[in-house]
Structure 1
Amino acid sequence: MVLFHTTSMALKAEKALKAQGIAVRLVPTPRQFSSDCGFALRFDWAERERVERLLEDGRVETAGVHELDG
Protein backbone atom coordinates (compact mmCIF):
# COMPACT_ATOMS: atom_id res chain seq x y z
CA MET A 1 0.00 0.00 0.00
CA VAL A 2 1.44 3.36 -1.04
CA LEU A 3 0.19 6.48 0.74
CA PHE A 4 0.35 9.97 -0.70
CA HIS A 5 0.27 13.61 0.37
CA THR A 6 -1.77 14.67 -2.66
CA THR A 7 -4.31 13.18 -5.03
CA SER A 8 -2.22 14.30 -8.01
CA MET A 9 0.72 12.19 -6.79
CA ALA A 10 -1.59 9.19 -6.32
CA LEU A 11 -2.80 9.52 -9.90
CA LYS A 12 0.75 10.04 -11.21
CA ALA A 13 1.90 6.90 -9.39
CA GLU A 14 -0.98 4.83 -10.71
CA LYS A 15 -0.24 5.89 -14.28
CA ALA A 16 3.52 5.31 -13.96
CA LEU A 17 3.21 1.86 -12.40
CA LYS A 18 0.54 0.66 -14.82
CA ALA A 19 2.76 1.81 -17.71
CA GLN A 20 5.43 -0.57 -16.35
CA GLY A 21 2.99 -3.50 -16.19
CA ILE A 22 2.49 -3.51 -12.44
CA ALA A 23 -1.03 -4.36 -11.31
CA VAL A 24 -2.18 -1.54 -9.03
CA ARG A 25 -5.53 -0.30 -7.76
CA LEU A 26 -6.40 3.13 -6.43
CA VAL A 27 -8.43 2.69 -3.22
CA PRO A 28 -9.59 4.83 -0.29
CA THR A 29 -6.87 5.10 2.35
CA PRO A 30 -7.55 2.45 5.03
CA ARG A 31 -8.40 3.77 8.49
CA GLN A 32 -5.33 2.27 10.10
CA PHE A 33 -3.13 4.58 8.01
CA SER A 34 -2.96 8.34 8.29
CA SER A 35 -2.58 10.26 5.06
CA ASP A 36 -3.11 13.78 3.76
CA CYS A 37 -4.71 12.30 0.66
CA GLY A 38 -7.83 10.14 0.73
CA PHE A 39 -6.39 7.68 -1.78
CA ALA A 40 -3.83 4.91 -1.56
CA LEU A 41 -2.43 2.52 -4.13
CA ARG A 42 -2.67 -1.23 -3.59
CA PHE A 43 -0.18 -3.58 -5.20
CA ASP A 44 1.27 -7.05 -4.75
CA TRP A 45 3.73 -6.78 -1.83
CA ALA A 46 6.17 -9.03 -3.72
CA GLU A 47 6.63 -6.06 -6.11
CA ARG A 48 7.55 -3.66 -3.27
CA GLU A 49 11.17 -3.03 -4.22
CA ARG A 50 10.29 -2.48 -7.88
CA VAL A 51 7.39 -0.18 -6.97
CA GLU A 52 9.57 1.92 -4.67
CA ARG A 53 12.31 2.17 -7.29
CA LEU A 54 9.92 3.17 -10.07
CA LEU A 55 8.23 5.79 -7.91
CA GLU A 56 11.59 7.23 -6.92
CA ASP A 57 12.81 7.25 -10.53
CA GLY A 58 9.55 8.92 -11.60
CA ARG A 59 9.89 11.55 -8.87
CA VAL A 60 6.58 10.57 -7.30
CA GLU A 61 6.37 11.88 -3.75
CA THR A 62 4.82 9.42 -1.31
CA ALA A 63 3.80 9.50 2.33
CA GLY A 64 5.07 5.96 2.79
CA VAL A 65 4.84 2.34 1.67
CA HIS A 66 3.20 -0.06 4.10
CA GLU A 67 2.31 -3.74 4.11
CA LEU A 68 -1.34 -4.53 4.73
CA ASP A 69 -2.11 -7.02 7.48
CA GLY A 70 -4.19 -9.97 6.39
Structure 2
Amino acid sequence: MELKEKLESECEEASKQLKNPNAGQTVKRHIDLLKGYNAIRDIGLGLLGMIADTKGLRVAEVMKEYGVDLKD
Protein backbone atom coordinates (compact mmCIF):
# COMPACT_ATOMS: atom_id res chain seq x y z
CA MET A 1 0.00 0.00 0.00
CA GLU A 2 1.38 3.38 -0.97
CA LEU A 3 1.96 6.02 1.67
CA LYS A 4 -0.73 8.24 0.15
CA GLU A 5 -3.31 5.45 0.25
CA LYS A 6 -2.33 4.56 3.81
CA LEU A 7 -2.70 8.18 4.96
CA GLU A 8 -6.04 8.56 3.19
CA SER A 9 -7.26 5.36 4.82
CA GLU A 10 -6.14 6.55 8.27
CA CYS A 11 -7.77 9.93 7.68
CA GLU A 12 -11.03 8.30 6.63
CA GLU A 13 -10.98 6.03 9.69
CA ALA A 14 -10.31 8.98 12.00
CA SER A 15 -13.16 10.93 10.39
CA LYS A 16 -15.56 8.05 11.06
CA GLN A 17 -14.67 8.20 14.76
CA LEU A 18 -15.49 11.89 15.02
CA LYS A 19 -18.81 12.82 16.53
CA ASN A 20 -19.43 15.33 13.77
CA PRO A 21 -16.88 15.24 10.93
CA ASN A 22 -18.38 18.29 9.24
CA ALA A 23 -16.21 21.25 10.33
CA GLY A 24 -18.87 23.79 9.40
CA GLN A 25 -21.43 22.17 11.67
CA THR A 26 -18.89 21.96 14.49
CA VAL A 27 -18.07 25.66 14.19
CA LYS A 28 -21.76 26.58 14.10
CA ARG A 29 -22.41 24.51 17.23
CA HIS A 30 -19.52 26.17 19.06
CA ILE A 31 -20.78 29.61 18.08
CA ASP A 32 -24.28 28.72 19.30
CA LEU A 33 -22.85 27.47 22.61
CA LEU A 34 -20.82 30.67 23.01
CA LYS A 35 -23.92 32.78 22.35
CA GLY A 36 -25.77 30.88 25.06
CA TYR A 37 -22.87 31.27 27.47
CA ASN A 38 -22.66 35.01 26.78
CA ALA A 39 -26.40 35.45 27.31
CA ILE A 40 -26.25 33.69 30.68
CA ARG A 41 -23.15 35.66 31.68
CA ASP A 42 -24.86 38.96 30.75
CA ILE A 43 -27.86 38.03 32.89
CA GLY A 44 -25.59 37.16 35.82
CA LEU A 45 -23.70 40.44 35.53
CA GLY A 46 -26.99 42.30 35.31
CA LEU A 47 -28.18 40.66 38.52
CA LEU A 48 -24.91 41.53 40.25
CA GLY A 49 -25.37 45.11 39.08
CA MET A 50 -28.88 45.23 40.53
CA ILE A 51 -27.61 43.87 43.85
CA ALA A 52 -24.80 46.45 43.84
CA ASP A 53 -27.28 49.28 43.19
CA THR A 54 -29.56 48.07 45.97
CA LYS A 55 -26.71 47.84 48.48
CA GLY A 56 -25.02 51.03 47.28
CA LEU A 57 -21.83 49.13 46.42
CA ARG A 58 -19.65 48.73 43.36
CA VAL A 59 -20.18 45.63 41.25
CA ALA A 60 -16.62 44.50 42.02
CA GLU A 61 -17.43 44.56 45.75
CA VAL A 62 -20.58 42.48 45.24
CA MET A 63 -18.65 40.03 43.07
CA LYS A 64 -16.09 39.62 45.82
CA GLU A 65 -18.85 39.21 48.44
CA TYR A 66 -20.43 36.38 46.41
CA GLY A 67 -17.10 34.77 45.52
CA VAL A 68 -17.32 35.57 41.82
CA ASP A 69 -14.09 36.23 39.96
CA LEU A 70 -13.74 38.15 36.69
CA LYS A 71 -12.55 34.89 35.10
CA ASP A 72 -15.77 33.06 36.09
**Normalized against structure 1, the TM-score is what?**
0.31
Q: Which structure has the larger Rg?
A: 2
Considering Cα pairs closer than 8 Å and 6+ residues apart, tell me whether 1 or 2 has the greater RCO. 1
Answer 1 or 2: which has greater strand percent. 1
Answer 1 or 2: which has greater helix percent. 2
